[in-house]
Amino acid sequence: MSATLRLRPPAPLRRLAAALLLPLLLAACAQPLEPAYDQKIVDNLETLTFATAALFERLKTDPGPAGLPAREDANIDLAARAATIPLLAAARPLPEGFLSRPAPRLSARHRRLRGRL
């Protein structure tokens, strides 16, 4: 019979590790990872949707190139509204905290060592 070596830590050490890891895990779950909700973006998306639907209805009544000068202002307005939505989304403040910071970059020495593994 061969004796097996158990590498399990003693119970008090396991309890201590669990007691230390539990608050860390709970804190990580409470960390916001996305920007806050912004009603302006939703409002702009809704108005863009309605304006696009209205433009399509106008295209049904006057589909030819003769109606293009009449639709030109609406086309410019739609393009401007569509361009402002990514700007509003990019201008939202990012959440603060440990998990929202970018990961540190590896130094050249670490990259060389990692390449050997």
Q: What is the pLDDT of residues 88-107, one digit of tens each?
A: 888 888 777 666 666 667 67
Instruction: Tell how many helices (H) and how many strands (E) occur in the chain.
Output: 4, 0
> Within 13 A of 39's CA, how many CA atoms are on the CB side?
0
Residue type, 84: T
Higher pLDDT among residues 21 and 114, named by residue: 21
Helix axis angle, 39-61 relative to 68-90, nearest 10°? 160
The Cα 24–Cα 9 span in angstroms is 21
2-45 pLDDT per residue, tens: 566 667 777 888 888 888 888 888 877 777 777 778 898 899 99
